[in-house]
């Protein structure tokens, strides 16, 4: 009985006594703790920032096809280390925006005539499908938005930059109206590759006016809930744009 009493008292004493091994964690606990994964988040945010800036440079034509992209120059430009630059470059390579060229190293991808043809084939297929599904699934509010977008496009004719921005909004509205997330992702990937072709054709007054008429026909078919007519109008719209693009990129060859 006496032994048990001594053991009990010792255990109470040991539990109450401060543990020297716990002093350091306790002190550390008084310091503000870093949020879980803070370093990774910061690194991820920097990588995303670099990725977006490079994409914008390609999209806006500051980095044209064949432009050499060097890690150290991009890091100096964006005031970041080379690690997030390397991550962003890997993403752009995987998306086909950057490629390795003999003797030049990493460059903004060049698209030959065959690649441009293939790209437009995919765009025609996807835009046609989007218009078809939009005619089937768009809500009444989405139909109203499309009509308003066409009217707005008519009002801004003569302002090429505004028309180019509006053109993207118009097509994105049809993509959303299709109500198919996988189709939207595929269209986004194809449209990213379209940036490699140079500036928007909507900057050309004659093309902007023709596109307005083509957009109006697409929306008219969607409003009638006519999937076949909507798809055909969208495909025709893309084919017309393809002919204009080929004429400008490869003037020496027949389109």
Residues 85 and 156 reside in one and the same domain? no
Percent of the chain's residues with pLDDT above 70:
82
- Final residue of a structural domain among 52, 83, 108: 108
Which parts of the chain register pLDDT below 50? 1-11, 13-16, 18-41, 255
Cα Dmax for the chain: 107
Answer yes or no: do 172 and 98 share one domain. Answer: no
CATH of the domain at 206: 1.20.120.530
Q: How many domains does the chain have?
A: 2
Query: How confident is the model over 154-201, as pLDDT tens digits?
Result: 999 999 999 999 999 999 999 999 999 999 999 998 998 898 898 899
Of 73, 131, 113, whose CA–CA distance to 253 is shortest? 113
Please return the burial class of 173, using the count of CB atoms within 10 Å of its CB with bins 0-12, 13-18 and 19+. middle
Return mean pLDDT, the chain: 85
- pLDDT tens, position by position, 221-243: 999 999 999 999 999 999 999 99
């Amino acid at each position: 009985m006496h032994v048990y009493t001594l053991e009990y008292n010792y255990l109470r004493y040991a539990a109450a006594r401060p543990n020297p091994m716990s002093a350091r964690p306790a002190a550390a606990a008084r310091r503000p703790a870093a949020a879980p994964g803070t370093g990774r988040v910061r690194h991820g945010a920097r990588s995303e920032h670099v990725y977006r800036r490079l994409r914008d440079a390609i999209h806006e034509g500051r980095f044209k096809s064949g432009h050499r992209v060097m890690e150290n120059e991009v890091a100096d430009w964006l005031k970041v280390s080379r690690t997030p630059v390397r991550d962003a470059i890997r993403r752009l390579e995987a998306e086909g925006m950057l490629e390795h060229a003999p003797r030049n190293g990493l460059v903004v991808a060049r698209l030959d005539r065959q690649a441009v043809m293939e790209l437009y084939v995919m765009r025609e297929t996807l835009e046609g499908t989007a218009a078809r599904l939009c005619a089937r699934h768009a809500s009444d509010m989405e139909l109203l938005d499309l009509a308003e977008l066409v009217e707005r496009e008519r009002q801004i004719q003569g302002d090429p930059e505004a028309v180019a921005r509006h053109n993207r909004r118009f097509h994105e509205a049809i993509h959303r109206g299709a109500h198919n997330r996988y189709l939207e992702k595929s269209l986004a990937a194809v449209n990213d590759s379209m940036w490699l072709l140079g500036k928007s054709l909507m900057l050309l007054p004659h093309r902007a006016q023709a596109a307005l008429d083509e957009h109006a026909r697409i929306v008219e078919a969607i409003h009638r809930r006519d999937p076949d007519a909507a798809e055909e109008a969208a495909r025709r719209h893309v084919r017309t744009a393809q002919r204009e693009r080929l004429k400008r990129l490869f003037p020496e060859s027949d389109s």
